[in-house]
Amino acid sequence: MAVDLLVVGAGFAGSVVAERMAAAGKSVVVMDRREHIAGNAYDEPDSRGILIHRYGPHIFHTNSREVFDYLSAFTAWRPYEHRVLAQVEGQLLPIPINLDTVNRLYGLALDEEGLKDYFERVRDPRPEIRTSEDVIVNTVGWDLYRKFYQGYTRKQWGLDPSELFASVASRVPVRTNRDDRYFTDTYQAMPLDGYTAMFSRMLDNPRITLALGEDFRSVRETVSARHIVYTGPVDEYFDSVFGKLPYRSLTFEHEQLPGVATFQPVGTVNYPNDHAYTRITEFKHLTGQEHPDTSIVREYPQATGDPYYPIPRPENDALYARYRELAEKEKGVSFVGRLAQYRYYNMDQVVGAALSAARGLLEGGL
């Protein structure tokens, strides 16, 4: 195989780089060990024809006009604002925590100013915000922390919030108004025909050859490409010389509910304190599909299995820094994406990183 570029991984990182480089006239092979494109964003119709996300719910949101415009060349959109409820003490309450969450949980009738005063009274001020515990107790105090965050986080990560960087829990804001949207980004929309269809259009270029069901590890000695873009786990690329980088995994339990038109009132319901799963998502809310039946997925966090989440905590950052040093020295290879950069990236951030990697390669003369 003699090509300009070998891309390992057909997820957002790999597919965006491949599309940009092929558009610039380069020959590209995109390899993935899975039998399909789209990485973790892969969606497909289930046996009843309901569009589901095999690897858990993927909701697109971004503040980046550049990223949104770029993807818009490959898909039309369906506007969608995600809403999430958390089951706490027998009630389904808005998360992010907002005015209605507090009023309904405690049977109060606060207004926005009243809630600000309330938070001021119950918060536990932390001089320095380092961990996910710090950020939440510093804002809303211990009771809301225990009811909405601590159990969910322990389940999701197998760690207490005090063991994770503040950036993890900071992903979910705390509000004093009644806004119950999960995200407030400028652009919030789902690809109209799904993610897989969008990826198909990105990769539909005569200069791109797809090699699905192929593992880079079994061909790396025979590859002949001017450059490689690697989007798999960075430690695996280096045969885990410094030890394995921890990733959190999940088991997805998909279920069809024949004859049930709507299972739950919103796209996702979180279970911070009950059950072994963290959340249930009902896909029809996300996709807007009309169907007499419905499909849901439960997410069960696991210590082992496919790597889905880098685990943001100090010792993992230190270990990653050693791999990053190796990666920076590795000639002819770029490391891009959530697993290759060990960053808790959302899809839009991966697209941004991939666009800039492709620009760098072209400017560098590939």
Residues that bind ligand FAD in the complex, under the rule CB under 6 A:
8-14, 31-34, 39-41, 55-59, 215-217, 231-232, 250, 308, 337-339, 345-348, 350
Collapsing DSSP to helix, strand or coil, 170 comes out as coil
Nearer to ligand FAD, 99 or 357 (CB): 357
Do 72 and 189 meet the contact criterion of CB atoms below 8 Å apart? no
Residue 165 vs 345, nearer CB to ligand FAD? 345
Closer by beta carbon to ligand UDP, 9 or else 312:
312
Give CA 290 to chain center in angstroms: 26
**Alpha-carbon distance 146 to 153, whole Å?**
10
Q: How far is the CB of 338 from ligand FAD (least distance, A)?
A: 4
Residue 156 interacting entry, from ligand UDP, ligand FAD, none, C-beta within 5 to 8 Å by type: ligand UDP
Q: Which of 312, 311, 278, 339 is nearest to 166 (CA)?
A: 312
Contacted by 176, from ligand FAD, ligand UDP, none: CB < 5 to 8 Å by type: none
Pairing mode, if any, of strands 224-230 and 333-335? parallel
169 binds, among ligand FAD, ligand UDP, none (CB under 5 to 8 A by kind): ligand UDP
How far apart CA 91 and CA 234 sit, in angstroms, is 42
Q: Give the nearer residue to ligand UDP in terms of CB position, either 17 or 269.
A: 269
Which residues here bind ligand UDP, judged by CB under 6 A?
A: 86, 95, 148-149, 152-153, 156, 168-169, 171-172, 270, 272
Half-sphere exposure for 28 (CA within 13 Å, toward CB): 31
CA distance 52 to 125: 43
Nearer to ligand FAD by Cβ, of 31 and 203: the residue is 31
* Residue 75 binds: one of ligand UDP, ligand FAD, none (C-beta under 5 to 8 A by kind): none
Structure tokens at 58: 């993927």
